[in-house]
């Protein structure tokens, strides 16, 4: 039975606010997403660590006891080293890397491991990317990498971020890019250690994106992403409707979205690819 460590990198207070806006906590979204790719008859054991709230692993439990680690999104900035939780999470990422457990990072997870291994992250000079990350293109390396197996030559993904990877650490490879961020997906491999990361959120559905947007109305107005709170409310309502009924052709046409973000298995394919290529072999070696 594969065993996963889910690292919630966001404070639980924020996750409760996200849930109150009609979504679920990030660990629940991930479990559902990766569950779409677990073979029939196979169960998945998982443990959630709320690292942003200061939790540590229970006594007697080691990182190496797991077959895979997922690093979630977070509201923090990895370059804010004045914040204790940022420093603590960087140290945890280094420990995970040293333990040689296959790891996947979504958004902050990619930025966190990048910083932990010597790369850099900065505020994106092109601005915030929220809602749908458009026209993500696999690089030549990405087209042959297992992470993006089943993805189109150009695809969209659900997202929310204002920071981006500026420079990758040694032994890293860019796997996908778009006009907003040169690093939309990357892998790091060295000495039997493996990390896969994406700047977007394969675990998100439209309800999750709607919740994030609803919590940041003033920010979107200040950044010029919308002209009024009513406009934002309309987008939130549409995204919630699209989450409930992905077959809504009118909403798909209105927002220019297709199966790459509407089909749950295709939207979460990166998790399935990681599970098959990295987690199951690690579990088999145990």
**CA-based nearest residue to 268, from 19, 5, 17, 32:** 32
Token couple for 79: 């370059």
Annotated catalytic, 107? Answer: yes
Q: Active site includes 220?
A: no
Q: Please identify which of the residues 201, 220, 270, 278 carries the catalytic annotation.
A: 201
Whose tokens are 């907003």? That residue is 180
CA distance 53 to 51: 5
**Active-site annotation holder among 37, 107, 159, 220:** 107
Q: Active-site residue among 37, 145, 161, 203?
A: 203
The label of the residue with tokens 């919590």 reads 215
> Does residue 203 carry a catalytic annotation?
yes
Which residues are known catalytic residues? Answer: 107, 201, 203
């Amino acid at each position: 039975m594969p065993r996963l460590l889910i690292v919630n990198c966001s404070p639980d207070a924020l996750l409760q606010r996200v849930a109150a806006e009609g979504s679920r906590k990030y660990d629940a979204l991930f479990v559902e997403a990766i569950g779409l790719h677990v073979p029939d008859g196979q169960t998945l054991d998982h443990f959630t660590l709320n690292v942003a709230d200061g939790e540590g692993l229970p006594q007697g439990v080691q990182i190496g006891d797991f077959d895979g680690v997922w690093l979630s999104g977070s509201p923090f900035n990895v370059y804010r080293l004045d914040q204790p939780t940022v420093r603590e999470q960087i140290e945890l990422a280094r420990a995970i890397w040293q333990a040689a457990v296959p790891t996947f990072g979504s958004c902050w997870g990619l930025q966190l491991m990048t910083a932990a291994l010597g790369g850099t992250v900065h505020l994106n000079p092109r601005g915030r990317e929220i809602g749908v990350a458009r026209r993500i293109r696999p690089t030549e390396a990405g087209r042959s990498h297992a992470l993006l197996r089943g993805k189109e030559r150009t695809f969209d993904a659900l997202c929310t971020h204002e920071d981006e990877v500026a420079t990758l650490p040694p032994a890293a490879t860019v796997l996908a890019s778009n006009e907003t961020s040169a690093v939309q997906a990357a892998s790091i491999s060295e000495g039997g250690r493996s990390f896969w990361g994406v700047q977007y959120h394969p675990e998100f559905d439209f309800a999750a994106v709607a919740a994030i947007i609803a919590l940041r109305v003033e920010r979107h107005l200040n950044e010029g992403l919308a002209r009024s709170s009513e406009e934002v409310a309309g987008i939130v309502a549409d995204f919630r409707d699209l989450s409930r009924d992905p077959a809504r052709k009118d909403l798909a046409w209105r927002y220019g979205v297709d199966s790459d973000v509407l089909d749950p298995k295709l939207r979460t394919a990166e998790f399935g690819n990681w599970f098959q290529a990295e987690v199951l072999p690690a579990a088999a070696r145990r």
